[in-house]
Amino acid sequence: MSELKREIARRRTFGIISHPDAGKTTLTEKLLLFGGAIQEAGAVKSNKIKKTATSDFMEIERQRGISVATSVLSFEYRGKKINILDTPGHKDFAEDTYRTLTAVDSTIVVIDVAKGVEEQTEKLVKVCRLRDIPMIVFINKLDREGKDAFELLDEIEQKLGLKVVPLSFPVGMGQNFQGVYNIREEKLLVFEGGSKQKLGERKVFTDLDDPDLKNYIDAELLEELKENLELVREVYPPFDRELYLEGKLQPVFFGSALNNFGVQDLLDCFVDIAPPPRPKKADKRIVYPDEPQFTGFVFKIHANMDPKHRNRLAFVKVVSGIFERNKSYYHVRLDKKMKFSAPNMFFGSKKQVVDKAYPGDIVGLHDSGNFKIGDTLTEGEKLMFKGIPRFSPEHFRYINNEDPMKSKQLAKGIDQLMDEGVAQLFTLNLNNRKVIGTAGALQYDVIQYRLEHEYGAKCSYEPLQIWKAFWIHTSDPDSEEYKEFLRVKQKYLAKDKDGLPVFLADSPFSVQMVKNDFPSVELMEISERE
């Protein structure tokens, strides 16, 4: 096998998604412990944007600064190279997470056993489903009282639209949590508490009729487990890897990340079934990881807000071939050759300069403003990867220039911040006024601060009654119906930064009206189809 093929086969690049507080950070830490990338839990905590900081965006930015190092966490486990891409759980950074999902090959969805399916989980899973991303579900915090396992599985199917197959099953819960049965490997792991931060030996039974078992598990719970396993066999289909890989079936594990319980079962299964880097659609063709020529795309740009170190790091996912340091690559959008002398990769939470990177890997490239989200690098081929769509923002405000002498600086600043993906810019057709759309109100402070400190421009905002932005599609732009739509809805029409037509709806009702009155006009909450 060639070097390239071998390296592709052993890579697993994924993201963990969850509603804040479900246990994503804790689980990440435990996975790193298994990979030997860290020795003790606590190392990743700094990554987390604390709830208490939501009113203080500088504090959030400071923490985000720290999180550059945890943007990609890599470790080796059972001969596989695993890359975890950080997906901020904080709602205000939801766009970041959506974009990161374009660079993962699979995901693990963490659900809190007590809270069940929460809002942010629903949104993120929807994005994964749109892209048929393989998902494994981890139900966390079994050491706490929560919902009945079967009820929760039903809830996941109904609210998330998934087809689940439990591959493990809990024995008791909360105070009475006594273990997890690994259905895949047919073994029972006994929960004895303790040993939270380090890896430790666990008592394992492979025979549920082992007489010694009664010393560890209440007889009643054991009976219940046997019945539950029977029920699982009757109700759920057998696990089918092909269906999982197609995004049509999702295995479920139970455990407690905090207690490092059930995490290894999850990781072992993940390593066995999760896909290596997948082919990716580009505008002209599909690109396969084992093609010899390098291709990759930018899915995230991290700007350092510290004025003393105002550098940006563009995160590139290698799609095909081998990326090499100091080799000349082609920046397709700018039609320009570029070389990178100090590409970064990440091990654990350390950053280091690398000479080579393979499909599935993420390289961090120092950037002085050449990159924007979605940019493609190749060895010369003119192709653009598809699928870094934008989603409708949730907040909208007019942006005004407060210093007429600095309008150029303001325009440049807005342009660059939008390229980084901080927010989205819409220009109204009617009067050319500019509207900034964001995923969270916090971003307005960030933008204002950065425009002033990095570009010397001053802005103010004005409220605007918009509910959501919809990208407009029509099969026949010359039709009378479409022309009539443009005329009647003039006031609500705008262009996004790429010039795509957008309908700024003030309420769900006005969207319904368009649907009724102009059936050939399609309004989409997403800028691009796959």
> Rule CB under 6 A: which residues touch ligand G4P?
18, 20-26, 48, 89, 140-141, 143-144, 256-259
Which of 16/345 has CB closer to ligand G4P? 16
Phi and psi of 73, rounded to 5°? -120, 120
Could you tell me if 71 and 103 are in contact, meaning their C-beta atoms sit under 8 angstroms apart?
no
Minimum CB–partner distance for residue 29 and ligand G4P (Å): 8
**Residue 22 or 188 with smaller CB distance to ligand G4P:** 22
User: What residues contact 24, with CB distance under 8 A and at least 6 apart?
Assistant: 16, 17, 18, 87, 89, 110
Tell me whether residue 259 or residue 344 sits nearer to ligand G4P (CB atom).
Answer: 259
First to last CA, the chain: 32
Neighbour count for residue 359 (Cβ, 10 Å): 31
Pairing mode, strands 164-166 and 250-254? parallel
Query: Whose Cβ is closer to ligand G4P: residue 27's or residue 365's?
Result: 27
Q: How far is the CB of 45 from ligand G4P (least distance, A)?
A: 6
8 A C-beta contact, residue 245 and residue 14: no
Give the residue with the Cβ less far from ligand G4P, 72 or 322.
Answer: 72
Tell me the C-alpha to C-alpha distance, in Å, between residue 154 and each of 143, 160, 177, 228. 21, 10, 21, 15
Tell me the closest approach of the beta carbon of residue 23 to ligand G4P, in angstroms: 4
**Helix or strand (DSSP H, E) at 513:** helix 508-517
Min CB(202)–ligand G4P separation in Å? 15
Smallest distance, ligand G4P to C-beta of residue 48, A: 5
Q: Minimum Å distance from CB 437 to ligand G4P?
A: 25
Closest distance between ligand G4P and the C-beta of residue 54, in Å?
13
Contacts of 516 (CB under 8 A, 6+ apart): none
**For residues 36 and 174, which CB has a smaller minimum distance to ligand G4P in the complex?**
174
Closest separation in Å from C-beta 186 to ligand G4P: 24
In the complex with ligand G4P, which residue's Cβ is closer, 31 or 447?
31
User: Residue 224 burial by CB count (10 A; 0-12/13-18/19+): exposed, middle or buried?
Assistant: middle
* C-alpha–C-alpha distance, residues 498 and 62, integer Å: 31
Q: Which residue lies nearer to ligand G4P by CB, 144 or 159? A: 144
Half-sphere exposure of 505 (CA within 13 A, CB side): 21
